[in-house]
Structure 1
């Protein structure tokens, strides 16, 4: 083919908006049905075992493409300056590259203004074209680009170590972003790749085709039992084994004014087009749901990206948006969406790995604009690598059921050692790996959240808003429930003997706390209680110690986007890494592990301090810890076993406590939206954060209303009581079963999901509950 024909073929493929059109173009060119024109992806005919084992969802796979473009732009800046990417003069981290190349400080895009972010975002584009229902997404960058001869070893490679020795890029697993392939067009999983080396870099290289454009199409071929292939194979277009190439100064493939998808010229970099990409659940304009989702998955993206909507049929003032990550979104929107005082900063350490933590508490109903079911986001270099669901906050060990839809926690794991990162994150970078590190992180988080004073105060306020005004005089209710229980030994066994229901809101009026206004650069950091050498703080040998400091630092002092503060801790002059620290409204709470080998009776000198760019010397002070004898209980050494518990009284074990009588709250139609109810909701249970439960019963349930309407022989109050207490007893029985299973460590139910299961089960049984009670009560044997 002539140069002109090759160029036209490339442009035709780039402007095709369906798999059917691509197949037609390649059939006409004589390539589609010619096996010799196709080459195995990664030079491996068994590549499906690798490509098919990538990201489990289309959104996280799309993120990998964007991250690869970020890497390409950083590489261009490095190579364009004549710096060898893996040499001693190259940036030692992504954060340093951001600073040196683009003036972005502390690795945070919020350190530069919105207009500068918008300009920078022109280097990476994501463009939606084609049909509304089956859109194509093109990821286009002004990065280093690749010459045609280099593409098989870079853009089309698998399991090569291209980036492993380059410290300032993210994509080191070298899957080439292949996870997206399975979400491309339904029949052939097709994508297009076009690339050209940046001329500024190419002039210093020796490739014969260094100034040419290269392009190829990737497709999936079905298993062929005749040839012995038992699994699919991904192959790319390469007539005579070579990437197709041509010469051109530029290509008109960048988006023009809406709705023109191809009105501007492009001179170098890489374009990857995902045909009819199956981004299910995100079918709105790219500025809305896809933008929100990508912000979540790239909470601290290293470089901004412009998203362009170029499908026809959308009406808006502008059809593009700048993607700067969730951190920037939250920072810009916090006044209207976050509770006062948030975000709050903290630091935790698990198995020697230090993490920065940001805690966001949203105003009621506002978190859904940023996150759906993700409660905890783990990120590395600005990219989400795994999550814990919102049900994590429902755990008894966390006690934040009333805030489970209002908390979002971001954990930065960028400082992890290489092996620890491998132990926690799957190579697909979209889920966590089970193991001791994940378990220890969860324990540290449980302790941090459960004891966070700001969250505790907010939980009580929310609970009071939901429950206080709706709690009736509980004495007759308690007596009625106790009478039911007394008639059944099996029911009585669920409850603590002699427990009576009490009002959970026996409040005394107090003055509201003044709003805390911290300083950007604090002026003091001192202990709330002194622990001198003569009067040291006691700490059992097998426990951690906890102390508090008073300070005037603002809540996000330790991990704000610009000029964060640093905390340092030493014991007897040695740096301590195993600690957690959280800061809230002038109180910094430090929890730390004693050094290994600390002997009982020894006195340890601890020095703690904070520093930032405004200080020549750190703020802080020293205190002393005396190592006390170890105590029995939760702080025992790993591997210790106790004999099984008996039925006799004693101090060797704590017998599982039975459920106290619950707080029952009646919910009517007017409160459905606020409570998240609908006409078929029956029962909702929440952990009250104090060892008990609140039961919310839908007294306007459609099945209850229907039964009252048709069953006129029974007083409506009796039917309501049967419905209410029947549901509550079902809920109690499920909770007791769950607690029993938890004690047995069976793993039958993931903690935190039990409340959802109670809601689902009672929703299913509500239609038959009253008819069953009535019918079975009259049942007689012949």
Structure 2
């Protein structure tokens, strides 16, 4: 064994950056600046490297992406194909299909056994201590020779992959985002050897050698304004040695090393600052988080826990959120979901998948992420779950249960730059982002499946308690009517009604769709003399009846095709989605003026048809201020049979909030657990202005119980009443001002109005009863008034 090989193996088995420093000091490699070269060949590299991912888990994802790219590159180069040529796969999914026989390039389309076999190509290992873990990422990809390392793994801002269509890591940052999270010295070990099948056709004299180096951060020196990153290369040469293999891969538990590695790349990040919430075995919380950050990862990854843990499972396969959800669908996902579709914003086409989790089943899939924006299966930004509680969405009852994946892979390069920050882990504040949000607001608000599920959840929470709440509603009504100021808070000024005061609706029948449609017809005709009204510069929607399955336009095999024509010219500014026997077409009318009458033709075609199913209707462009006659959201409904006497009911009106009491022991009919309450919880609000608000009150709040215990028995009801209606009135006041309080900033998710009310109600709970009692008894003498005037 050569000296260099010995040093390399000692660095592999070092379990802290202090050990790394000691090893290099012993070899006289740590202290002498001549042994270290600037990372990327740039002295001022900290400004670039330090501006990467803000979260340690997101930085790890970048390393995984590089490993996936390396494996795909290896398959291409082994076949002697120029990766920049037209003969190379033109997308990641095509590469997966061509090189690994993954249908459509989606891991959901192969078996668990096949995914497990693929996962042997990329590994992730946790070693060291529980508190300060080390993470190893290795892959059996193309690998790099010692001579090529400075221009590949150790480079920044070079165009190595820019013209290669089937890889994702085109930013050439070398996965540098992890550096800042590696201990105090930001130390990372890099080991690599060229894949022998590729090296066979190359002339590089170091192609059969292992190369290794250490990356570290150096503090600013005299005359320098910032730190810099350097890598170990004595005499400007990467340390290298000859060896057929290295015993550095994890072997049987609990051994972190021992299995031979013959080629590829091996990275070790020492004392990684992953955060307290993700330090547990990598098969648990970190696995869940990484699945979320790579919902549709191209290749699976084998994860090994090799620290001193006794978890039930210490190895697992990371295949992304889509695979996790697909495997557990029957237990965790509501019937009919996920539902898929496409949307077009400013000419940019995106595909979406909407997941609706069963009650309390979302926790292991997403925490605060509501809408996840992805490119090639990697998360590039998200909107928080507060998005669903916006007034324009009105899905607060499903806020915790909805997860939307928005695939932005096909958007243009300029649009990608406008939508995402360069760090690739958060959204920008560009107009494109807000137009996409507006489109999503409309999509979620009007999605018939989500509307049905929301109504179902609300009934479960509220309906069977309404009779018990009428006295509370009567008291609240009296309070509001006796005060002109308070009555203005009364939303829409309507009369008090049962939120489930009903009118007949047709019975629900389970929809069973056909593989191919036998009809796809307009629910309402719009002939030339009675056109559909649509406001200038906006979009309109029309509804079709059909008998086809919901995934007809989005499935992988035998996909249906929908085309729309305006005055016989095809337009791409259309979105169509299906739900249980109805099709919903949304079309943009940009570029047309008031008074234009447009002929719209739609065609539905698939492999089962000789001629398309065609429909034709007319649209009249109207003044944006003019009230048009589009189909109202509430008219979206289930296919139904003629009324046979078995009637459902649907909401017909809403006014004052429904007040539901929650107690610790359930004596009120609802328990804390139903809404995640504890002793400090006070008020939770769900619902929308359009369909009514439901106020959930904690009658076992610790401050309320304290007040009651200190009072006379006959005063208990009065104290409880002050507490309840004080909370409700303050909640109403915040709702009235909610348009000012709502925020669309994903970095500030706590500003959702419902979450803000929930947190604020906890804050004012200790003072609400003393405030009511003391202020009502306050005697403002002239002397007191003078003091107040001076203070004012």
Normalised by the size of structure 1, how large is the TM-score?
0.91
1:544-581 CA-to-partner distances (Å, cap 9, x unmatched) read: 23222233333233334666544333334433221222
Instruction: Say whether the 8 Å CA contact 1:401–1:689 is kept in structure 2.
Output: no
Q: How does 1:511-660 map to 2 (within 5 A)?
A: 513-531=508-526, 537-560=532-555, 564-594=559-589, 596-597=591-592, 600-611=595-606, 614-615=607-608, 617=610, 619-632=612-625
Length, aligned pairs only: 750
Partner SS for 2:108: helix
C-alpha separation in 2, matches of 1:177 and 1:726? 54
Corresponding residue of 1:17: 15
- Range with bigger deviation, 133-142 or 544-553: 544-553
Instruction: Say whether the 8 Å CA contact 2:477–2:496 is kept in structure 1.
Output: no
Instruction: Say whether the 8 Å CA contact 1:401–1:688 is kept in structure 2.
Output: yes
Corresponding residue of 2:368: 373
Is 2:97 the counterpart of 1:88? no
1:193-235 CA-to-partner distances (Å, cap 9, x unmatched) read: 10111111112112111111110111111122xx211211111
Partner SS for 2:623: coil
| Structure-2 change in CA distance of 1:746 and 1:702 (3 Å) | closer
1:79-113 CA-to-partner distances (Å, cap 9, x unmatched) read: 11000111221111112111111111222111222
| Structure-2 change in CA distance of 1:112 and 1:446 (3 Å) | same
Corresponding residue of 1:163: 161
C-alpha separation in 2, matches of 1:138 and 1:575? 52
Corresponding residue of 1:323: 318
Instruction: Say whether the 8 Å CA contact 2:385–2:749 is kept in structure 1.
Output: no
Partner SS for 2:680: coil
- Once the two structures are TM-superposed, the CA of residue 373 in structure 1 deviates from its matched residue by 0.5
C-alpha separation in 2, matches of 1:530 and 1:497? 34
C-alpha separation in 1, matches of 2:506 and 2:587? 34
C-alpha separation in 1, matches of 2:733 and 2:232? 62
Instruction: Say whether the 8 Å CA contact 1:525–1:610 is kept in structure 2.
Output: no
Match for residue 205 of structure 2 among 208, 221, 227: 208
Is 2:774 the counterpart of 1:761? no
Is 2:286 the counterpart of 1:286? no
- Once the two structures are TM-superposed, the CA of residue 44 in structure 1 deviates from its matched residue by 1.2
Is 2:114 the counterpart of 1:116? yes
C-alpha separation in 2, matches of 1:511 and 1:632? 35
| Structure-2 change in CA distance of 1:511 and 1:660 (3 Å) | closer
Is 2:737 the counterpart of 1:737? yes
Corresponding residue of 1:177: 175
| Structure-2 change in CA distance of 1:23 and 1:522 (3 Å) | farther
Instruction: Say whether the 8 Å CA contact 1:681–1:763 is kept in structure 2.
Output: yes
Partner SS for 2:9: helix
1:144-181 CA-to-partner distances (Å, cap 9, x unmatched) read: 01111111111011111111111110001111110111
| Structure-2 change in CA distance of 1:42 and 1:617 (3 Å) | farther
| Structure-2 change in CA distance of 1:452 and 1:86 (3 Å) | same
Partner SS for 1:106: helix
- Once the two structures are TM-superposed, the CA of residue 596 in structure 1 deviates from its matched residue by 2.6
- Once the two structures are TM-superposed, the CA of residue 490 in structure 1 deviates from its matched residue by 3.4
Is 2:682 the counterpart of 1:679? no
Partner SS for 2:738: helix
Corresponding residue of 1:139: 137
| Structure-2 change in CA distance of 1:300 and 1:494 (3 Å) | same
C-alpha separation in 2, matches of 1:45 and 1:485? 69
Instruction: Say whether the 8 Å CA contact 2:382–2:746 is kept in structure 1.
Output: no
- Range with bigger deviation, 399-408 or 579-588: 579-588
Corresponding residue of 2:697: 697
Structure 1: runs of 5 or more not aligned: 636-658
Structure 2: runs of 5 or more not aligned: 629-653, 782-792
| Structure-2 change in CA distance of 1:296 and 1:689 (3 Å) | farther
Instruction: Say whether the 8 Å CA contact 1:193–1:273 is kept in structure 2.
Output: yes
Is 2:332 the counterpart of 1:334? no
| Structure-2 change in CA distance of 1:618 and 1:221 (3 Å) | farther
Instruction: Say whether the 8 Å CA contact 1:393–1:403 is kept in structure 2.
Output: yes
1:432-465 CA-to-partner distances (Å, cap 9, x unmatched) read: 1112111111111111111111111111111111
Instruction: Say whether the 8 Å CA contact 2:536–2:622 is kept in structure 1.
Output: yes
| Structure-2 change in CA distance of 1:144 and 1:103 (3 Å) | same
Instruction: Say whether the 8 Å CA contact 2:371–2:382 is kept in structure 1.
Output: yes
Corresponding residue of 2:774: 775
- Once the two structures are TM-superposed, the CA of residue 625 in structure 1 deviates from its matched residue by 1.9
**RMSD, matched Cα:** 2.5
C-alpha separation in 1, matches of 2:495 and 2:533? 38
Corresponding residue of 1:314: 310
| Structure-2 change in CA distance of 1:563 and 1:262 (3 Å) | farther
- Range with bigger deviation, 679-688 or 531-540: 531-540
Partner SS for 1:148: coil
Instruction: Say whether the 8 Å CA contact 1:738–1:749 is kept in structure 2.
Output: no
- Once the two structures are TM-superposed, the CA of residue 542 in structure 1 deviates from its matched residue by 3.9
- Once the two structures are TM-superposed, the CA of residue 479 in structure 1 deviates from its matched residue by 4.2
Instruction: Say whether the 8 Å CA contact 2:362–2:400 is kept in structure 1.
Output: yes
| Structure-2 change in CA distance of 1:353 and 1:506 (3 Å) | same
Instruction: Say whether the 8 Å CA contact 1:536–1:623 is kept in structure 2.
Output: no
- Once the two structures are TM-superposed, the CA of residue 778 in structure 1 deviates from its matched residue by 2.6
C-alpha separation in 2, matches of 1:132 and 1:737? 47
| Structure-2 change in CA distance of 1:775 and 1:236 (3 Å) | same
Instruction: Say whether the 8 Å CA contact 1:541–1:600 is kept in structure 2.
Output: no
C-alpha separation in 2, matches of 1:42 and 1:291? 31
Instruction: Say whether the 8 Å CA contact 1:193–1:271 is kept in structure 2.
Output: yes
| Structure-2 change in CA distance of 1:373 and 1:571 (3 Å) | same
| Structure-2 change in CA distance of 1:102 and 1:562 (3 Å) | farther
Corresponding residue of 1:63: 61
Corresponding residue of 1:348: 343
Is 2:722 the counterpart of 1:722? yes
Instruction: Say whether the 8 Å CA contact 2:497–2:655 is kept in structure 1.
Output: no
Is 2:661 the counterpart of 1:666? yes
Partner SS for 1:180: helix
Match for residue 447 of structure 1 among 442, 445, 456: 442
Corresponding residue of 2:498: 503
Instruction: Say whether the 8 Å CA contact 2:539–2:589 is kept in structure 1.
Output: yes
Normalised by the size of structure 2, how large is the TM-score?
0.90
Corresponding residue of 1:219: 216
| Structure-2 change in CA distance of 1:692 and 1:748 (3 Å) | farther
Instruction: Say whether the 8 Å CA contact 1:346–1:558 is kept in structure 2.
Output: yes
- Once the two structures are TM-superposed, the CA of residue 595 in structure 1 deviates from its matched residue by 6.1
- Range with bigger deviation, 148-157 or 305-314: 305-314
- Once the two structures are TM-superposed, the CA of residue 690 in structure 1 deviates from its matched residue by 2.4
Instruction: Say whether the 8 Å CA contact 1:521–1:553 is kept in structure 2.
Output: yes
Match for residue 227 of structure 2 among 224, 232, 245: 232
Instruction: Say whether the 8 Å CA contact 1:76–1:198 is kept in structure 2.
Output: yes
C-alpha separation in 2, matches of 1:427 and 1:440? 20
Corresponding residue of 1:638: none
